[in-house]
Amino acid sequence: MFGAQASAVHQCDSGWVPVLVGQDGSISLMSIGFLLERPDDAVVWRGPKKNALIKQFVADVAWGELDVLVVDTPPGTSDEHLAVVEALRPHTALAAVLVTTPQAVAVADVRRELTFCRKTGVRVLGLVENMSGFVCPHCSECTNIFSKGGGEELARHAGVPFLGCVPLDPQLSQSLEEGRDFIQEFPRSSAFPALAHIAQQILDGTLQPSS
Ligand SMILES: Nc1ncnc2c1ncn2[C@@H]1O[C@H](COP(=O)(O)OP(=O)(O)OP(=O)(O)O)[C@@H](O)[C@H]1O
Ligand SMILES: [Mg+2]
Ligand SMILES: [Zn+2]
């Protein structure tokens, strides 16, 4: 999505140097993808090995001063999630943004993620409903391909903030496939105002003192 697949990570005195992306190199990336020899390699590891690498990604990367560290996790409530919480808790105020699609099977997964956050004491900044409706570019009719409203209903039930709905947007998908800058290039797309609104709320939430 950042067009950084071919990047390599090297070592400096203070650890691994992250890959710098974004307009002025202001975003530092670290991914296991940078450490694989071939892009088709699979990471067939058991929990303890994954946990060790996650710890290294926190402790042994020369992150420097960061405003925010975003950790993109796989779905579920597994080794990776616990390892991330354990590795980061001593350093910073943790908070989670949960993303679901509207249909019941996805919402059920995210309900379990909410329980995970509660049990591990991770503050929930809010819930996002992605792929929430598709507006036809020809006739502007909105079709709710994956049903509608599941995320908002879950947020209400769980008593966490609902951050907003992101529609299915071919321009968003295109921009991610081609590693283009969505914010610069697609300001008139249907997902843009939704994402901007969600980002602002997350920013407001992370600037608040954590409870
Ligand atoms: N609102 C959207 N409109 C169009 N395409 C989208 C939208 N949201 C996500 N996509 C596309 O769907 C694909 C999957 O998205 P993404 O990687 O964010 O899902 P994910 O939930 O993180 O998946 P995983 O559970 O595997 O981590 C990507 O190719 C992305 O470009
Ligand atoms: Mg993902
Ligand atoms: Zn149409």
- Nearest ligand for residue 182 CA: 1
For ligand 1, residues with CB inside 6 Å are 74-75, 130-131, 166, 168-169, 172-173, 176, 191
Residue 125 tokens read as 């900044």
CATH fold, domain 99-211, is Rossmann fold (3.40.50)
Dist. CA 163–CA 202, nearest whole Å: 8
Residue 107 alpha carbon to ligand 3 centre in Å? 28
pLDDT at 155: 97
Dist. CA 203–CA 70, nearest whole Å: 12
**Nearest residue by C-alpha to atom 13 in ligand 1:** 173
Residue 86 tokens read as 């354990």
- In degrees, to the nearest 5, what angle opens at C-alpha 93 toward C-alphas 91 and 95? 130
| DSSP per-residue letters across 97-157 | EEEE-SSHHHHHHHHHHHHHHHHHT-EEEEEEEEEEEEE-TTT--EE-TT-SSHHHHHHHH
**Nearest residue by C-alpha to atom 22 in ligand 1:** 74
- In degrees, to the nearest 5, what angle opens at C-alpha 188 toward C-alphas 135 and 148? 30
How confident is the model over 56-104, as pLDDT tens digits? 999 999 999 998 999 999 988 989 999 999 999 998 889 999 999 999 9
Domain boundaries, the chain: 1-92, 99-211
Q: Which atom of ligand 1 is nearest to the CA of 166?
A: 1
How confident is the model over 148-182, as pLDDT tens digits? 999 999 999 999 999 999 999 999 999 999 988 89
Going by pLDDT thresholds of 50, 70 and 90, the confidence category of residue 206 is confident
Q: Which atom of ligand 1 is nearest to the CA of 170?
A: 4
